[in-house]
Amino acid sequence: MESKKVKRHLSPARIIALGFAGVILLGSLLLIMPFSVRPGVDLAYIDSLYTSTSAVCVTGLIAVDAGDTFTPVGQFILGALIQVGGLGVTAVGAGIILLMGRKVNLRGRTVVREAMNLDSGRGIVQFVRSIFATTLLIEGLGALLSYPSFAMTRGPLKAIGLSIFHSVAAFNNSGFDILGGGTNLIPYQSDVLLNLVTCALIIFGGIGFLVIREMWQTRLNWKKFSMHTKVVLSTTAFLLISGTLLLKATEDITWLGAFFHSVSARTAGFSTYALGEFSTSGLLVLILLMFIGASPGSTGGGIKTTTFFSLLQGIKAAATNHSEKAFRYSLPREAFRKAAVITLLALGVVVTGTYLMSVFEPQLDLRDILFEIVSAFGTVGLSTGITGGLTVPSKLLSIFIMYIGRLGPLTVASLWYFTRGELTQYPEGNIAIG
């Protein structure tokens, strides 16, 4: 009886949160095992937990270099954690149930719908199947196209492993690499093929499965796209172009490098230049891109492109005294309110996290700390180089912020809430605004 009561109190949001926490803890235990760690490497549990959290939350921030620390088995576990984290624990669980030939019950469908930001529970099973098929197809193509770049400097077997891992990490918007040496993709900054393939994987992973499915079903017919798809694609294009122009204007990098970092900062975390050498203005551009992040139902984090778009439309409507509309549609009435709440909660997480890390790490510059915290919240993985030297309290703080960023601040804020009707009604008061 008691277990049934507990089950009833577990809302979809709580099930998702517990699922991610469980996978993180399991991953931390697997990564610290002798078969996962290279001989002679001393891996502390806090670093194993940090790495597992970063992988499951598809962030890419690293306390230890994955290529130098983990064995092929450990790297496989790391890749599996990234895949589970990117697709979502609930989607993977539903997929396993389907593979076993069993049916997903009503509660399971509700959890998947909540996790993937779907409007209704209709077609959930078909949607889960399409997620797996899409992932397999895109990651397979990504690995195939990445292979020539890695094969130029590595043996065939090693190049295959690197290609598969890189494709999984890029599509799931996680900036992990297993190249070793802590260089990320800097050795490949002039490799046009690898840069463009990586960008394509990140973009497809960041626009969301709903948008990918709609693009496929409508054969890229813009007129047939829903409002959601049009908002996602137009906002994504705007951010990529403006980010590229601003980075090129502030940093001494190539156009390819500017475009790559404009794409990567939107939650992927790969870098082809040392970010510690970027100017403050360049880092500010990356911070803004990281904070906005990817799109709903995707493998990325941040406040999301649709939130940013709704926020701008709401501000524009208030300033011009016009209704909120776009692409010949009216925005839902609750869109601006929800966008404002999510943005304020996100700012609260970032400001609080920056303050606490400043207390824990007084020797670090404020810009480096702010960059680190926004990167953790946006589940990006970019860093100015301070991650490895963080103290245990700062790593625990970063772990918590990555977890919040993956679940979403509004989801985390609602975990304690029990749905009950308001028992008391008060008269409407007056308050001066602005």
Instruction: Please state the domain count of the chain.
Output: 1
Q: How confident is the model at residue 113 (pLDDT cuts 50, 70, 90)?
A: low
What pLDDT is recorded for position 103? 66
**Euclidean distance between CA atoms 391 and 400, whole angstroms:** 14
Residue 421 included in any domain: no
Which tens digits make up the pLDDT trace of 163-222? 999 999 999 999 899 998 888 999 999 999 999 999 999 999 999 888 998 999 898 999
What pLDDT is recorded for position 298? 84
**Residue 167 CB partners (closer than 8 Å, separation 6+):** 139, 140, 142, 143, 146, 201
Residue 171 included in any domain: yes
Residue-number span of the structural domain to which 96 is assigned:
8-412
What pLDDT is recorded for position 1? 45
Residue 419 included in any domain: no
Average pLDDT, integer, range 325-338: 86
Average pLDDT, integer, range 365-394: 94
Question: Between these two residues, 5 and 107, which has the higher pLDDT value?
Answer: 107
- What separation in angstroms does the CA of 309 have from each of 64, 211, 338, 341, 343? 37, 16, 12, 14, 12
Residue 427 included in any domain: no
pTM: 0.90
Which tens digits make up the pLDDT trace of 190-204? 999 999 999 999 999
**Euclidean distance between CA atoms 278 and 294, whole angstroms:** 23
Count how many Cα atoms sit within 13 Å of the Cα of residue 34 in the half-sphere of its side chain: 0
The pLDDT of residue 340 is above 50: yes
The pLDDT of residue 418 is above 70: no
**Euclidean distance between CA atoms 113 and 111, whole angstroms:** 5
Residue 420 included in any domain: no
Count how many Cα atoms sit within 13 Å of the Cα of residue 337 in the half-sphere of its side chain: 3
For 167-192, b where at least 16 C-beta lie within 10 A, e where not — what string? Answer: bbbbbbbbbbbbbeeeebbeebbebe
Question: Between these two residues, 331 and 349, which has the higher pLDDT value?
Answer: 349
Q: How confident is the model at residue 432 (pLDDT cuts 50, 70, 90)?
A: confident
What pLDDT is recorded for position 99? 63
